[in-house]
Chains A and B, each alone.
Chain A
Amino acid sequence: MTTTVLLFTLLKVIVIVFVVLTAVAYAVWFERKVVARLQSRWGPTRVGPHGLLQPLADAIKLLTKEDITPANVFRLVYFLAPALSVITALLAFAAIPFGPVTLVGGVDLFQIANLDIGVLYILSISSMGVYGIALAGWSSNSKYALLGGLRSSAQMISYALAAGLSLVGVLLLSGSLNLRDIVNAQAGATWGFIPHWNIFPQLLGFFCFLTAAIAQTNRLPFDLPEAESELVAGYHTEYSSMKFAMFFMAEYANMLTVSCMVTLLFLGGWHGPVFGPALLQTMLPLLWFSLKVLALLFLYIWIRGTLPRFRYDQLMAFGWKFLFPLALVNVLLTSLIVAYRAD
């Protein structure tokens, strides 16, 4: 590896981290805006036009707030937990391709690392996020936080299983764990207008994964770990200032990761009509990718604005008795079809 490549990669990492963090900030703005409109409010309007500078104001506020550490916390773990959350959330982006291979100086522009086990890597690294939450709940010496931490460890572990299983169908169809290969397998269209997206043959898998992913990212109707009406704020009750912000960032980064995953695995990734001059042709896939992610984010927020929250035992029952068997059925059906085709 030459120094140029190393330098380029480093630059790319910095740019992607910056982009992801900005996207996270604006995902918060987007959520606040959309939920507000669903609830016949305006949402942020004061800071900048349409409240567009609100994320900046929030960041300044959170950075300058007093950082309170309650008495008798397990200090090492208490400080480590938010970092762990946010690091695992950001690490997932290392394997996500945002567009087709575009080589500049021997470096792929739209992906940090093209892993052959990309899907597995993202699943495992996002499952690591549960440590941050469980440890935060355990170390902050608060009963609400403890309950929140316990709830979320159980929830994320059960739903990670369903999420992983519901992806098996896609993996069987494309025969690869490499995200790029999976996206490329979805190129083209039947009769010129029905795209070869995995969502069509894998509708069941799509719904299973989406549901499990919502649960894994602790969003309504599965936001039990931080159910504010029951557990005050759940695992991050005792966190303030930037440590709280790190949990917050991690949650939204996970939302983005999941939306990216769904886009890549089921919605054909960056595939879409490409036309125009060369520069436009490089940028259009990025646009399609972002639009699909945005649509999924909107779905997330829409669900939040509509549904009440599950109870803990109902959530577990739903995960184990409904979603998990459904994912299994999907695996079975897909394997049968794949086997039949292979004959």
Chain B
Amino acid sequence: MFQETIAPVGKRTMILNMGPQHPSTHGVLHLILELDGETILKATADIGFLHTGIEKTCEAKTYHQAITLTERIDYLCPLTNNLCYVLAVEKLLGLEPPSRAQWMRVMLNELTRIGSHLVWLGTHANDIGATTVLLYCFREREEILNLFEAVSGQRMMTSYFRVGGLALEPPAGFLKRVEKVMATFPDHIDEYEELLTRNRIWMARTKSVGILTKEDALDFAVSGPTARASGIDWDLRRDNPYSSYDKFSFRVPLRAEGDIYARYIVRMEEMRESLKIVRQALEGMPEGPIQVNAPAVVLPQGDNRKTEMEALIQQFKIVIDGFCVPPGEVYQAVESPRGEMGYYIVSDGTAHPYRVKVRSPSFANLQALPRLAEGRLLSDLVACIGSIDIVLGEIDR
């Protein structure tokens, strides 16, 4: 890899190793750049610096234990990972969680999406030099993380979704809290847009820069907002609904230009749409249990296990041995903030998954980066990296 990128003697180009420690490669991405002056002739992504072996580790865990690993794959949207994995296991088991659990999942998922987009916006703007936006975004993300902490006890590694429903009953007044936080959000998004959307410098830096054509996007299997900014009208929440997303009405933002600005606009509008979904979830939140009635899978709730022998035995069995899943394989995809996130799980009938494979959107989206950046300036590369919103944990897994 290193050999082939070294220019022959006499060629007036420079090889620049950007990363893995670089302020704007969003983690530990290593790019081998061949530069002519500041123009990028060739960009080669070198990944693997954040390899954690999570997929393999899952095989040694029970199905429930593996949930805690999934959220570490894409640490900016932990709940989306939880959801995707849990949905896949539920599909294997043939379980359908009660509607309240499904609605809570949708709501928390959209909050995660907003939180993730806030981090994207902040870091992206920071890369282009607008430092203030970063601080504003993290200020609002903090509110969302506080909500996660209230509901699950953890700010980031939530593990709140469990096979068969939710981990815990949400605290009293939780929906009120969400409502209160969400009420201020449209103003906040307006604030970011005021700083950027019509800003001449921002437009000059992003418009007609890093163009990804529709054909290229399809060829690279790009998904999510990055694909929708290139005119591919594909959103799994609408086109392949899961967890009762079909009961919500929302618009899928679409742009045809395929440049950085289009990706920016798509994500900004997506945040507003997510707000709408959260509001609908708040208004129509059904009553009822948060877990499906499946004693072999779901941990007994409340004080049952202190008074009932059966419950205690179940608790012990699930915690120590886990639950067995019928043999088979399943692929479940959800729309993560970055695109199509899929979990492929093979079960051999035991309490441990035989194989867990993650289809990570960032991995596919990163493939498009050389196409976006080659022939452009170094500054554009930084803007391009930000605009495809990659998370290295998800790429390397």
Residues of A within 8 A of B379 (CB): 224, 227, 230, 309, 311-312
Our pick among B128, B130, B135, B380 for the contact of A41 (Cβ within 8 Å) is B135
Knowing A143-B16, A312-B377, the reply to whether A227 touches B129 (Cβ < 8 A) is yes
A5-13, A111-119, A300-308 - the one binding chain B: A300-308
Complex Cα distance, B201 from A221, in Å, reads 9
User: In chain B between 6 and 35, which residues have their CB closer than 8 angstroms to a CB of chain A?
Assistant: 14, 16, 22-24
A-B contact count (CB 8 A): 79
Query: What's the nearest-Cβ distance from chain B to residue A153, in Å?
Result: 13
Q: Which of A144, A147, A304, A310 contacts B204 (CB 8 A)?
A: A310
Q: Does A181 contact B (CB under 8 A)?
A: no
Q: Does A60 contact B (CB under 8 A)?
A: no
**Interface mask (B194-221 → A, CB under 8 Å = 1, otherwise 0):** 0110010110110000000000000000
Which parts of B92-130 form the interface with A (CB within 8 Å)? Answer: 125-130
Chain A residues within CB distance 8 Å of chain B: 35, 38-41, 143-144, 147, 151, 220-221, 223-224, 227-232, 304-314
Per the bound structure, the CA–CA distance linking A224 and B38 in Å amounts to 12
A305–B126 CA distance with the chains assembled, in angstroms: 11
Q: In the complex, what's the smallest C-beta–C-beta distance from A302 to chain B, in angstroms?
A: 10
A selection of 5 A-B contacts at a CB cut-off of 8 Å is A39-B131, A39-B135, A230-B24, A230-B378, A306-B132
By a CB distance below 8 angstroms, the chain A residues around B24 are 229-230
Chain B residues whose C-beta falls within 8 Å of the C-beta of A147 in the assembled complex: 38, 378
B interface: dominant SS: helix
Nearest CB of A to B45, in Å? 17
B interface bracket (residues with beta carbon within 8 Å of A): 20 to 34
Question: Could you tell me the distance in whole angstroms from the C-beta of B42 to the nearest C-beta in chain A?
Answer: 15
Given A38-B132, A147-B38, A308-B128, verify A232-B23 contact (CB < 8 Å): yes
Residues on the A chain within 8 Å of B126, using CB: 229
B120 to chain A, nearest CB (A): 14
CB <8 Å contact, A306 and B14: no
What residue in chain A is nearest B123 (Cβ atoms)?
A229
Residues on B with C-beta less than 8 A from A35 are 131-132
Chain A to chain B: the 9 pairs with minimum beta-carbon distance, closest first: A309-B129, A39-B135, A229-B24, A308-B130, A229-B127, A308-B129, A308-B128, A311-B379, A308-B201
Q: Are A40 and B129 in contact (CB under 8 A)?
A: no
Tell me if A221 and B129 are in contact (CB < 8 A): yes
Q: How far is the CA of A41 from the CA of B131 in the complex (A)?
A: 13
Chain A facing B: main interface SS:
helix
Q: Does B247 have its Cβ within 8 Å of any Cβ on chain A?
A: no
Residue B51 at the chain A interface, CB threshold 8 Å: no
Since A229-B126, A305-B131, A314-B204 are in contact, a sample of 19 more A-B pairs with Cβ atoms closer than 8 Å, ordered by chain A residue number, is A39-B136, A40-B139, A223-B129, A229-B24, A229-B382, A230-B378, A232-B22, A232-B23, A306-B132, A308-B125, A308-B130, A308-B199, A308-B205, A309-B201, A309-B379, A310-B201, A311-B204, A311-B379, A313-B377
Q: Which residues of A contact B125 (CB under 8 A)?
A: 308
User: Nearest Cβ distance between residue B376 and chain A, in whole angstroms?
Assistant: 9
Partner of A220, one of B22, B129, B382: B129
A residues less than 8 Å from B201 (CB atoms): 221, 307-310
Which of B129, B136, B139, B199 lies at the interface centre, i.e. has the most chain A CB atoms within 10 A of its CB?
B129
- CB neighbours (8 Å) of A307 from chain B are 129-130, 199, 201
Expressed in whole angstroms, the minimum distance between the Cβ of A188 and any Cβ of chain B is 39
Contact B130 A229, beta carbon cutoff 8 Å: no
**A305 to B38, Cβ gap below 8 A?**
no
When distances are taken between beta carbons in the complex, the residues of chain A under 8 Å from B377 are: 311-313
Known contacts A143-B14, A230-B378; A309 and B132 CB within 8 A of each other: no
Residue interface bits B122-156, CB-to-A below 8 A is 1, else 0: 00011111111001100100000000000000000
